[in-house]
Amino acid sequence: MLDKELLEEFAELKKRNDAVVLAHYYVEDDAQDLADYVGDSYFLAQKAASIDCKTLVFAGVEFMAESAKLLSPNKRVLMPEPTADCPMAHMLRKETIDEAREQYGDDLAVACYVNSTNQMKAWSDVCVTSANALRIVERLPQKNVLFIPDQHLGHYIQQQVPSKNIILNDGFCPTHEAIDVAEIRLLMQEYPGAAVCVHPECPSWVLDVADYVGSTSGIIERCVTGSESDYIIGTVYGVLHEIERRVAAAGDAGKKHFHFPATTPICPNMRRVTGQKVVACLRDLSGEVFVDQSTAEGARRALTRMLELAV
């Protein structure tokens, strides 16, 4: 928790720089507490595109801040921790797209998870998030959909939309990939009435034991509004801060209990983003995000189409 002096400085810096702070649910608790808006990738992309300010501070990883800059090119976008990257964002070979386009021609759409580089987005037809991927893939006119870069989210969509030919890439989120179904099962034995809520970035064998599969915001909503007293959560531990905040606001503190696998799912990159770094980047105007103009137009087009199709 930040001290009073630092909080006062932060308030003055925000005012001076006409700044709005966006934070993902996975970053450190004190960074979430400083944010004007906390959300998942889809919600934050919407806010980045629509909010009125001169400066955006994006408490998240690189691809998120780059997307904010693409959607708001006239805003100054700052990253509190410029080295915070997403390994999955780089897990694609251009040849994978080229080969699919050659095979399927105009009856192929490339759907790119937002957890990706701008170059990857520019190669694609539309971006998706875990919150809107199912809706967007269903609405695409093409029968064949190359889903990049995450194989697990792609496999989940494949199961939900059998009318489409979903072609998978071999990328993955290391944190969700490491969630052990055996550890989930041990928790299920210990808390037999618990609702098992997992993210579709998890492998299929983890999804198979779940009562609920959904985006980060969906998991939070399920835990907050559900009637169960115990919840087993298969996503990054950072969501607990928002869950507990909302449960307390609803007057249910102490009535609900939240359990994570013994090998706690923590994103090492998101964890680097702290409240102190949020204040420091506003103080120094450091970590400014710039995008490669050679990929900006194509990447912006894919993101904009996502916002249009997800409505």
Q: Are residues 159 and 193 in the same domain?
A: no
Q: CA-CA distance, 245 to 297, in Å (whole number)?
A: 39
Q: Are residues 115 and 56 in the same domain?
A: no
Q: Are residues 122 and 253 in the same domain?
A: no
In sequence order, the 6+-apart residues with CB closer than 8 A to the CB of 206 are: 179, 181, 184, 198, 234
Under 8 Å between Cβ of 47 and 39:
yes
Q: Are residues 207 and 225 in the same domain?
A: yes
Q: Are residues 15 and 79 in the same domain?
A: yes
| Counts of helices then strands in the chain (DSSP H, E) | 15, 12
Task: Quickly tell me which residue has 């808390």 as its tokens.
Answer: 191
pLDDT averaged over every residue in the chain:
96
Q: Are residues 14 and 79 in the same domain?
A: yes
Q: Are residues 225 and 301 in the same domain?
A: no
Which domain covers residue 155, as residue numbers? 88-173+294-309
Look at residue 2 in the predicted model and tell me its pLDDT.
83
Q: Are residues 42 and 186 in the same domain?
A: no
Q: Are residues 58 and 10 in the same domain?
A: yes
In sequence order, the 6+-apart residues with CB closer than 8 A to the CB of 2 are: 10, 30, 33, 34, 275, 276, 279
For the record, the structure tokens of 281 come out as 């980047």
Look at residue 36 in the predicted model and tell me its pLDDT.
97
Identify whether 192 is preceded by a cis peptide bond (ω within 30 of 0).
no
Q: Are residues 148 and 160 in the same domain?
A: yes
Q: Provide the whole-model pTM.
A: 0.94
* Mean per-residue pLDDT pooled into runs of 10, the chain (311 residues): 90 97 97 96 90 96 95 96 97 98 98 96 97 96 98 98 97 98 98 98 98 97 97 98 97 96 97 97 97 94 95 83
Look at residue 42 in the predicted model and tell me its pLDDT.
86
Under 8 Å between Cβ of 124 and 89:
no
Reported as a single tens digit per residue, the pLDDT across 231-289 is 999 999 999 999 999 999 999 999 999 999 999 999 999 999 999 999 999 999 999 99
Look at residue 3 in the predicted model and tell me its pLDDT.
87
Look at residue 311 in the predicted model and tell me its pLDDT.
83
**φ and ψ at 110, to 5 degrees?**
-100, 110
Please give the tally of structural domains in the chain: 3
Q: Are residues 96 and 147 in the same domain?
A: yes
Q: Are residues 287 and 299 in the same domain?
A: no
Q: CATH code at 210?
A: 3.40.50.10800
